[in-house]
Structure 1
Amino acid sequence: MAQWTVDASHSSIDFQIKHMMVTKVKGTFDSFNANVVAANLENLTDASISFAIDAASINTKNTERDNHLKSADFFDVENYPSIRFQSTHITQSGDAYMITGDLTIKDVTKPVTFEVEYNGKGLNPWGVEVYGFEGETKINREDFGLTWNAALETGGVLVGKDVKISVAMEVNPA
């Protein structure tokens, strides 16, 4: 088994959620790290994949909203500085993988499954082989204790429940 790291400058962890029931707000986490242990990155079925996100690095391009998301109403970054994922089971179908693992947000851990596509490999300008992957999952934020909301005068709520999480990773030898 070999150790691999994620090149954060060529990778991203993004999300989107409905706002006022009519549009989607997108955001990203600017700081994270991830590790992959695998015999062969072209067959992830025996891999162990983990990542840790700095919850305070949330970025929705709106400082007031970001500060609210960092508060106790949402991520409570003072008490829960990181969001974590650890794979528990991986299956493959062609170039796609179903990577199931434990996602921890605040003090709640729940199983989630990312549908991940292997995008291929290449050599970077320094002759190092790199591998690319993209994946998605959807969670109900309320399942993780992120329950703050506000009712709208016209009916409905300010913040949707379902959060789509998208991950793009470039993986390099450790």
Structure 2
Amino acid sequence: TFKATSRFMDADGRFHRLGGEIVVDPKDLSTAKVTLSIEVASIDTGIGLRDNHLRSEDFFDVKRFPTITFESARVEAAGRRATVHGRLTLHGVTREVAVPVDVALTDLAIVASGEFVVNRGDYGLTYQSFLNPIGNLVRVAFTFRAHAP
């Protein structure tokens, strides 16, 4: 999920189509390798007109940049908390990010959750509205559940 702010109305939303892979030794979270791909056109803020505008060239430009991807480079783990360092590619721009994650392990699955902030301007998402200025910082929250193959 994500939350973006503006002067008059915040936008809470999610992406419905995504996939990825987590490969990890449950006894050593620092071994984790994470890949994620999100289909940007699946954005949903609950307001169709806004979603269409977000898909347009003004924002995500889904025709040119159909996916958001993340690939981990290394993981720092301490107990069931970790910081996943990796490359986030959004709107054709790749940047290094560090994502704090809480991890729960069961015999059947690994559940990872956390949140971090993205500065949309860092990724070339610079559209601005004179009447309703949009904040640059977007809070991203996630929970992923991975099952053994």
User: What's the TM-score once normalised by structure 1's chain length?
Assistant: 0.81
Letter of the aligned partner of 2:133 in structure 1? Answer: L
Q: Distance in 2 between matches of 1:76 and 1:137?
A: 23
Deviations 1:121-149 (A, max 9, x none): 25xxxxxx112110211110000010001
Deviations 1:44-71 (A, max 9, x none): 2111101000000000000000000000
Match for residue 92 of structure 1? Answer: 77
The 5-angstrom pairing of residues 31-70 of structure 1 reads 31-38=17-24, 40-70=25-55
Question: What percentage of residue pairs aligned between the two structures are identical?
Answer: 30
Deviations 1:67-93 (A, max 9, x none): 000001111001111000000111012
Residue of structure 1 aligned with 2:3, choices 9, 16, 20: 16
Deviations 1:28-56 (A, max 9, x none): 00000010122x13532111101000000
Structure having the higher Rg: 1
Match of 2:139, SS? strand
Letter of the aligned partner of 1:77 in structure 2? Answer: V
Letter of the aligned partner of 1:66 in structure 2? Answer: D
Letter of the aligned partner of 1:25 in structure 2? Answer: A
Match for residue 169 of structure 1? Answer: 144
Match for residue 130 of structure 1? Answer: 109
Root mean square deviation of aligned Cα: 1.4
Match for residue 15 of structure 2? Answer: 29
The 5-angstrom pairing of residues 139-154 of structure 1 reads 139-152=118-131
Contact 2:26–2:105 (CA<8 Å) still a contact in 1? no
Bigger RCO of structures 1 and 2 (CA < 8 A, at least 6 apart): 1
Contact 1:99–1:116 (CA<8 Å) still a contact in 2? yes
Contact 1:84–1:103 (CA<8 Å) still a contact in 2? yes
Match of 1:164, SS? strand
Q: Distance in 2 between matches of 1:106 and 1:42?
A: 36
Q: Distance in 1 between matches of 2:28 and 2:118?
A: 26
The alpha-carbon deviation at position 158 of structure 1 amounts to: 2.3
Letter of the aligned partner of 1:37 in structure 2? Answer: V
The alpha-carbon deviation at position 24 of structure 1 amounts to: 3.2
Count of residue correspondences: 149
Structure 1 gaps, min length 5 = 1-13, 123-128
